[in-house]
Amino acid sequence: MPLEQPSRVHELSAEEAAIHRRLDPARLPEHVAIIMDGNGRWAGKRSLKRFFGHKQGAESVQYVVETASRINLSWLTLYAFSLENNLRRPRLEVSFLMKLLSSYLTSNVGRMNDNNVRIQYIGRIHELPPEVRERMEWAAEETCRNTGTTLTLALNYGARSELVDAMRGLAREIEQGLLRPEHLTEQDIQRHLYTRDMPDPDLLIRTSGEMRISNYLLWQIAYTEIFVTDRLWPDFRGVHLLEAIEAYGSRNRRYGGLGEVGDEPGVLASKVLVPR
Ligand code: FPP
């Protein structure tokens, strides 16, 4: 966390607290990103229109945000509306999602403040309808002094278009003589991403069982651990976030190296280098 936060673990449900007790504090993610999928299927299974699935999905958002804030998760980034959703879904569904976002913000900013949650956005926000942008700016302004979890909503977001926007920024710097192409580094690309002020996700959760990344944070997830659950997003709650975090705790992150065992020089020598 940017600031030391008081513990709010006593606010977890009994089920959440049971999982939380099993977590190793040294193996907690700092940043969790989620692909929220399955709203339509959730509604379909109940012979309801897709809109009901999205409405229920918005409820899940708030449950998960509050659990994240109770465990002092620093960063939570939710894929709420992709560029492809915007281009390929029926206009009626797109306008419903926009209204749902506005009403979600209006109804939940008070709770965000109660939970010390700061809201921000990534994506081509300028292409969203002005009245939605106005609500988004209001919510960001209302919560900007909070120091707990940063909730980032990816809206009209696509990772490839984020990279295009970053390349445009870099091309301008080169054009102005501020950067030479042969000096370009990964950090230069990083500082032009929408996520420039955020750490990369440690854990990416995808609901509804699909094994896809769907153009989400492609640069940022280079070394992210992936957790896929069959649970549909409208059924996802804080307890499921904690289950995913527990699974993350048992992963051996290697970043292309040899991981925890191989990091110890003596072990490396005996296991890898010494011929029998
Ligand atoms: C996928 O379900 C989900 C989305 C289109 C985006 C997520 C939207 C929400 C959770 C609702 C509101 C969000 C906020 C922040 C208020 P889908 O329709 O693709 O499901 P399907 O694959 O089962 O059809």
Q: What is the pLDDT of residue 272?
A: 36
- Whether 234 is in the pocket of ligand 1, judged by its Cβ within 6 Å, is no
Out of 125, 233, 237, give the residue to mutate to test ligand 1, the one with the largest number of ligand atoms within 8 Å of its CB: 233
Tell me the pLDDT tens digit for each residue of 229-256. Answer: 999 999 999 999 999 999 999 998 888 8
Residue 194 lies in a domain: no
CATH code of the domain covering residue 77: 3.40.1180.10
Q: What is the pLDDT of residue 29?
A: 98
Residue 53 lies in a domain: yes
Residue 45 lies in a domain: yes
Residue 231 lies in a domain: yes
Q: What is the pLDDT of residue 4?
A: 77
Residue 227 lies in a domain: yes
Q: What is the pLDDT of residue 260?
A: 65
- Beta-carbon contacts of residue 79 (< 8 Å; ≥ 6 apart): 33, 34, 35, 36, 154, 157, 214, 216
85 is catalytic: yes
Q: In this structure, what DSSP letter does residue 138 have?
A: H
Total domains present in the chain: 1
Residue 12 lies in a domain: no
Tell me the pLDDT tens digit for each residue of 42-87. Answer: 999 999 999 999 999 999 999 999 999 999 999 999 999 999 999 9
pLDDT confidence tier of residue 269, bands split at 50, 70 and 90:
very low
- The C-alpha R_g of the chain, in whole angstroms, comes to 20
Residue 170 lies in a domain: no
- Selection from 176, 129, 83, 171 nearest residue 137 by Cα: 129
Residue 135 lies in a domain: yes
Q: Going by CA atoms, what residue is nearest to atom 18 of ligand 1?
A: 40
How far separated are the first and last CA of the chain, in Å rounded? Answer: 47
Residue 133 has pLDDT above 60, yes or no: yes
Compute CA distances 13 → 54, 210, 238, whole Å.
25, 29, 9
Query: Quick one: CA dihedral 87, 91, 96, 102, positive or negative?
Result: positive
Residue 132's domain comprises: 29-157+200-252+268-273
pLDDT, mean over the chain? 93
